[in-house]
Amino acid sequence: MDARRCISYLTIELRGTIPEDLRNGMGAHVFGCDICQDVCPWNRRAPYTDAADFLPRSLPTAAGRDAAGDSLLLPKLTRLAAMTEAEFREAFHGSPVKRAKWRGLVRNACIALGNAGASLEQEARGESMHLLEQLSASAEAVIAESARWALSRIQAIE
């Protein structure tokens, strides 16, 4: 196995841009993957937990924002991609998600948006394109590049 192709490595550990030929295979993963944990026979006996530390968090709700989109259980990709660095720090205080860093999580959300483009409804696609246009001008080079890539993918199916 080439660990450099692992989605968990790409979305959590890798700093900078993600190689273009690996982006499609990331699908909608924005932080890790762990399908190998799901299918590992040793994990079949592992008990489920309801420990609070393992329950999904919610993103801090900003005024005027749709609270329904703020759960971190299957979060909206646009919500993740639009997070500010301050929101990221607040939302993921004490969480392993901080390992990816703010710019890494936004980068991943951009790529996931690019991959999801064809399956998005017209309205969601328009919202995504608008956001990606804004992120394409980000001062963070890795975010700007990922947003431009995602935008070009969505534009290609328009």
- Token look-up 């489920």 returns 48
Kindly tell me the burial class for residue 158, based on how many C-beta atoms sit within 10 Å of its own C-beta (0-12, 13-18, 19 or more): exposed
Indicate which single residue of 13, 35, 65, 67 sits in contact with ligand SF4 (rule: CB under 6 A): 35
Q: 10 Å Cβ neighbour count for 70?
A: 17
- 33 forms part of the interface with ligand SF4 (CB under 6 A): yes
Q: Are 113 and 77 in contact (CB under 8 A)?
A: yes
Q: Which two tokens stand for residue 126?
A: 């328009």
Nearer to ligand SF4, 108 or 138 (CB): 108
- 71 forms part of the interface with ligand SF4 (CB under 6 A): no
Indicate which single residue of 6, 22, 82, 144 sits in contact with ligand SF4 (rule: CB under 6 A): 6
Q: Are 128 and 120 in contact (CB under 8 A)?
A: yes
Q: How many residues bind ligand SF4 (CB under 6 A)?
A: 7
Which residue, 100, 53, 64, is CA-closest to 80? 100
The β-bridge partners of 58 are 71
Q: Which one of the spans 12-20, 33-41, 49-57, 137-145 is the region binding ligand SF4 (CB under 6 A)?
A: 33-41
Indicate which single residue of 20, 36, 60, 137 sits in contact with ligand SF4 (rule: CB under 6 A): 36
- 8 forms part of the interface with ligand SF4 (CB under 6 A): yes
- 28 forms part of the interface with ligand SF4 (CB under 6 A): no
The residues of the shown chain that bind ligand SF4, judged by CB under 6 A, are 6-8, 33-36
